[in-house]
Amino acid sequence: MEHHTTLSVHIDITAMPDGYDEVIRRAITTATHRVLPDIDVTMLVLTNVTVGAAYRVAAALIELMDASPTPEHRFAFTVWEEPACEWPGTMLRYTPDTGLVSDWWDGDGQPLITAAGIQATIAPGAGVADPPDTGIGDRLLIEFEPVSCRAWLEAGAAGEAGIDDGFRTANLTIAAGLEELLALLNHDATQRAWRPAAQVHQVLIWRTGDSDGIDGGGLLTVDLDYPLGRIRFGCLHQGFDDFITDASTYGIDAAVEALGHVADVVNHTYATFRTATQAVTAHPGPVDGEDDATANPG
């Protein structure tokens, strides 16, 4: 489910060549998929844009300047979007001299990144900066409830996703069925079987094949929203027989088990990722060969 917010754009046009404002207008239109009113681009306010539009607009404006022939085509701008639901507000400032600077704030207007926090990160001896935090902490990315899942499937989701007696391991149909089920779950806010963390945008399965065609397996990916933007991480390949413990299980029973397996794999992969990045942060390893004598005593 996409969330929407209000986006504001302020552009310094004092030294801008004639006609360049129309080029800027087209760039913003492409980034937001919104037709802009025929007004001065010095100050624009766009309502009902999708969360994350500030990054898309900033990237489009910088790309426009990078493609321009002369320094006169570079300009300062500020883009900000209001907080929406659980999403923080975002502000991006650009000047030709300093480049792009960003900040975030919560629904009460309190900054999420402070000067003290920045100083602590760059202070001498601070070491490797902490990995970016999504705000999820140690919670599960996906909370899965099998009983609610069965009820959801029996209420019509199974039919909509094409889940029938042919949904079984031997038929190599599990990955294909999961593709349809995950598409439904990613956009159905009413069901209670599959409850992703607020920062999870979607979970997908990418079906795999070999020289003989579809092999029944797939790669699971998760689109996860960090403060600096959306990332996609992948899980280890799942073979055709990894989703269901008993090959004789089929239909709705198989769908419930397969979705539970997907949730387990996603949660385990994210937990492993957090553990690994925290370990690297705490122990960044030898620098400039300082531990060479220990590692190679000969």
Residue 289 lies in a domain: no
User: What's the pLDDT tens digit per position in 41-86?
Assistant: 678 888 888 877 887 888 888 888 888 777 777 888 888 888 765 5
DSSP assignments along 70-131, one per residue: SGGG---EEEEE--BTTBPEEEEEEETTTEEEEEEE-TTS-BSS-HHHHHHHHSTT--SPPP
Residue 286 lies in a domain: no
Q: Establish how many alpha carbons lie within 13 A of residue 253's alpha carbon, considering only the half-sphere containing its beta carbon.
A: 11
Do 259 and 152 share a structural domain? yes
Residue 129 lies in a domain: no
Report the pLDDT averaged over residues 245-263.
96
Do 171 and 45 share a structural domain? no
Do 243 and 147 share a structural domain? yes
- Which amino acid is it at 140? L
Do 167 and 108 share a structural domain? no
Return the percentage of the chain with pLDDT > 90, whole number: 29
* Listed residues 64, 89, 122: the one ending a domain: 122
Report the pLDDT averaged over residues 222-246.
86
Q: How far is CA 22 from CA 38, 166, 247, in A?
A: 9, 56, 61
Report the pLDDT averaged over residues 200-204.
91
Identify the residue whose tokens are 């207007």. Answer: 109
* Residue 40 confidence (pLDDT) above 60: yes
Residue 296 lies in a domain: no
Do 155 and 57 share a structural domain? no
Do 181 and 101 share a structural domain? no
* Residue 34 confidence (pLDDT) above 50: yes
* Listed residues 56, 90, 122: the one ending a domain: 122
Do 158 and 102 share a structural domain? no
Report the pLDDT averaged over residues 82-95.
71
Q: Give the total residue count for the chain.
A: 298
Report the pLDDT averaged over residues 257-272.
92
Q: What is the pLDDT of residue 205?
A: 94
Spatial separation of the C-alpha atoms in residues 130 and 133, rounded to whole Å: 8
* Residue 98 confidence (pLDDT) above 60: yes
**How many domains does the chain fold into?**
2
Residue 230 lies in a domain: yes
Do 111 and 19 share a structural domain? yes
Do 168 and 115 share a structural domain? no
Q: What is the pLDDT of residue 78?
A: 87
Q: What is the pLDDT of residue 154?
A: 96
Do 57 and 23 share a structural domain? yes
* Listed residues 122, 152, 173: the one ending a domain: 122
- And the tokens for 128? 């490797």
Report the pLDDT averaged over residues 249-255.
96
Domain that holds residue 90: 4-122
Residue 293 lies in a domain: no
Residue 135 lies in a domain: no
Report the pLDDT averaged over residues 278-288.
45
Do 15 and 90 share a structural domain? yes
Q: What is the pLDDT of residue 250?
A: 96
Check: pTM over 0.85? Answer yes or no.
Answer: no
In this structure, of 38-42, 79-83, 155-159, 267-271, the range with the lowest mean pLDDT score is: 38-42
Do 160 and 108 share a structural domain? no
Residue 35 lies in a domain: yes
* Residue 208 confidence (pLDDT) above 80: yes
Report the pLDDT averaged over residues 26-46.
78
Report the pLDDT averaged over residues 116-131.
41
Stated as kind and residue range, the H or E segment containing 143 is: strand 142-144
Q: Count Cβ atoms below 10 Å from residue 204 Cβ, excluding itself.
A: 18
